[in-house]
Amino acid sequence: MGKKKISLEVADPNAAGIDIGSKSHWTAVGQNAQDVKEFGVYSEDNYGLCLWLQEHGVETVAMESTGTYWQNLFSSLMAFGFEVILVNGQQTKNIKGKKTDIKDCQWIQKLHTLGLLTGSFLPDGTTDIIRTYSRHRQGILEQSARTVLKVQKHLRLMNMRLDVVVKDITGLTGTKIITDFLNGQTSGKELAKNRHYNCRKPESEIAKALQYNGRDDHFFALRQEWATYLHLQGQITQIDEQIKKHLEDVIDNDGDKKQHIPSEKPHKRKNKNTIRGLNMNQVSYQYFEGVDLMAIEGVNDATIMAIISEIGLEGIKKFASAKQFTSWLRLAPNNRISGGKVLGHHLPKGSGRLKIAFRLAANAIGNLKEGHLSDFFKRINYKKGRATAVSATARKLAVIIWNMLVKGTPYDPPTEYLFLDQKRKLRLVGRIKKNIAKFELRPEDVGFGNMMNIST
């Protein structure tokens, strides 16, 4: 008995596969040896690769998202008019056996030809620029936080317990004390005079905490770390100016965005790490073309900036439904079913920056005293714990934002709590109204007219 063969339908006959590398790119337009060629990573090599693909009649290209090595080649391919899909490496894992660059690019070409690959999400050009600024800013913030810890360590080793008497050593009081100390003032009483009136600890206790032990080595290290901190803060200010300028240019060059003017709303508390000099209420209202995301409780400047920089207005419209959006965020349960039985329904692993932003907003919602989302958080928290409540509220928040940006649905939370039977009644009435409108029913068609005559 001969072996049984199963053939797959060819979806993209003019497809190519590229195995991205740091020093060379292996490209395959077929499964034969002469259909594979290696190219370098310079601009002229990318140009030659595109010409070689044109000679072989290639129309669509699949490539792995390997680090940042793919970006320049991706731009060159797009400029030549190729249809390019960026694929997650999990989809292109080769079959068991010897692994080589040649086999990898041929395997990608074969999968793409059979239509077995799906492209990853890629932001538009405007969002990509803002994303670069935002992620660079986040990296400097993390570096600045590590520097503050080093400053705190050297102060502690010099018996300057500023961290005990001051909540934030880089606040108004802490900054003045450190600056005065580095300028040569070592007296605790004199340094304590820099106390801000809002500081909870009295001046006498601050003076007791600041008793310099004369360690010149730690003093030298403190001076350098403080200079690094000030330098990083200056870089953050420059990035904030670039982000503000770019967002204002985007809004000014788009009439649909510029025409919207937001209304004044109650002040929301801002974190000290938010972008300085930027009215996020106005910018977000204009950028999202009249959609007021700041009306949602728990949503602040950081949440808005994460949405603008990670997905953008055009990017979120690529998702056909809120379910697809929450699944992409990895906030929707991954149901594993076998034999009609649910084996597991945990959230998939992985946390993107936008998912983290939604979870932080959900955690802030859990700390609110009142509100529709706060009530939802507290109900889930009571049943299944805070961790589950954060994930559930983050998913609900993502659904609300998708409906606002894609469908234009304003945020209008219910003002009163509805019990389960009341919710079921509202859903039933909604379905009845929908069917009446769909089938164009009249009272006489369902017998309501006869009942009214009998009652009269």
Determine, yes or no, domain membership for 4. no
Which residues have a Cβ under 8 Å from the Cβ of 48 and sit 6 or more positions away?
Answer: 39
Would you list the DSSP string of 159-173? TB-HHHH-S-TTSHH
Determine, yes or no, domain membership for 320. yes
Say if CB 310 and CB 130 are below 8 A apart.
Answer: no
Say if CB 140 and CB 46 are below 8 A apart.
Answer: no
Q: Is the pLDDT of residue 456 over 50?
A: no
CB-count exposure of residue 2 (10 Å: 0-12, 13-18, 19+): exposed
pLDDT class of 448 with cuts at 50, 70, 90: low
pLDDT class of 319 with cuts at 50, 70, 90: very high
CB-count exposure of residue 315 (10 Å: 0-12, 13-18, 19+): buried
- Domain termination site, one of 63, 89, 113: 113
Token pair 């239509």 is at which residue? 115
> Does 372 lie in the same domain as 296?
yes
Say if CB 31 and CB 39 are below 8 A apart.
Answer: no
Residue 139 CA, distance from chain mean position: 15
List, in sequence order, every residue forming a beta bridge with 63; answer none if it has no partner: 18, 86
Determine, yes or no, domain membership for 30. yes
Determine, yes or no, domain membership for 119. no
pLDDT of amino acid 454:
47
Say if CB 244 and CB 130 are below 8 A apart.
Answer: no
pLDDT of amino acid 66:
81
Compute the half-sphere exposure of residue 120: CA atoms within 13 Å on the CB side of its CA: 15
Residues 257-268: b if buried by 16+ CB within 10 A, e if exposed: beebebeeeeee
High-pLDDT (> 70) share of the chain, %: 93
> Does 297 lie in the same domain as 425?
no
pLDDT of amino acid 121:
86
pLDDT of amino acid 276:
86
Q: How many domains would you assign to the chain?
A: 4
Q: How large is the average pLDDT for residues 318-347?
A: 85
Q: What is the pLDDT of residues 270-293, one digit of tens each?
A: 778 888 888 888 888 999 988 889
pLDDT of amino acid 453:
53
> Does 320 lie in the same domain as 297?
yes
Across 199-208, 228-237, 327-336, the highest mean pLDDT is recorded for: 228-237
Which residues have a Cβ under 8 Å from the Cβ of 344 and sit 6 or more positions away?
Answer: 334, 335, 336
- Domain termination site, one of 197, 218, 249: 249
pLDDT of amino acid 1:
47
How many other C-beta atoms can be found within 10 angstroms of the C-beta atom of residue 312? 23
pLDDT class of 347 with cuts at 50, 70, 90: confident
Q: What is the pLDDT of residues 359-415, one digit of tens each?
A: 999 999 999 888 889 989 998 999 899 999 999 999 999 999 999 999 988 888 876
> Does 395 lie in the same domain as 289?
yes
Determine, yes or no, domain membership for 412. no
> Which of 286, 228, 224 has its CA nearest to residue 254?
286
Residue 185: helix, strand or coil by DSSP?
Answer: coil
> Does 303 lie in the same domain as 436?
no
Cα–Cα distance between 146 and 439 in angstroms, integer? 65
> Does 267 lie in the same domain as 392?
yes
Determine, yes or no, domain membership for 134. yes
pLDDT class of 122 with cuts at 50, 70, 90: confident
Cα–Cα distance between 368 and 286 in angstroms, integer? 27
> Does 189 lie in the same domain as 95?
no
Cα–Cα distance between 456 and 452 in angstroms, integer? 6
pLDDT of amino acid 377:
93
Cα–Cα distance between 406 and 358 in angstroms, integer? 18
Cα–Cα distance between 153 and 212 in angstroms, integer? 14
Q: What is the pLDDT of residues 30-52, one digit of tens each?
A: 888 889 999 999 999 999 999 99
pLDDT class of 138 with cuts at 50, 70, 90: very high
Provide the domain limits for residue 440: 420-455
Segment 99-102 long-range contacts (CB within 8 Å, at least 24 positions apart):
101/19, 101/21, 101/24, 101/26, 101/38, 102/26, 102/28, 102/36
Cα–Cα distance between 29 and 37 in angstroms, integer? 9
Determine, yes or no, domain membership for 288. yes
Determine, yes or no, domain membership for 122. no
Mean residue pLDDT across the chain: 87
- Domain termination site, one of 216, 249, 282: 249
Token pair 């395959």 is at which residue? 28
> Does 388 lie in the same domain as 273?
yes
**Cα angle 172-178-182, degrees, rounded to a multiple of 5:** 145
Say if CB 296 and CB 411 are below 8 A apart.
Answer: yes
pLDDT class of 449 with cuts at 50, 70, 90: low
> Does 154 lie in the same domain as 87?
no
Q: Is the pLDDT of residue 95 over 90?
A: no
Q: For residue 71, give the CATH number of its domain.
A: 3.30.420.140
> Does 333 lie in the same domain as 384?
yes
Which residues have a Cβ under 8 Å from the Cβ of 384 and sit 6 or more positions away?
Answer: none
pTM for this predicted structure: 0.81
Query: What is the gyration radius of the CA atoms in the chain, in angstroms?
Result: 30
Would you list the DSSP string of 145-158? HHHHHHHHHHHHHT
pLDDT class of 326 with cuts at 50, 70, 90: very high
Cα–Cα distance between 34 and 55 in angstroms, integer? 14
pLDDT of amino acid 5:
61
> Does 239 lie in the same domain as 330?
no
Say if CB 63 and CB 27 are below 8 A apart.
Answer: no
Cα–Cα distance between 394 and 210 in angstroms, integer? 44
> Does 265 lie in the same domain as 188?
no
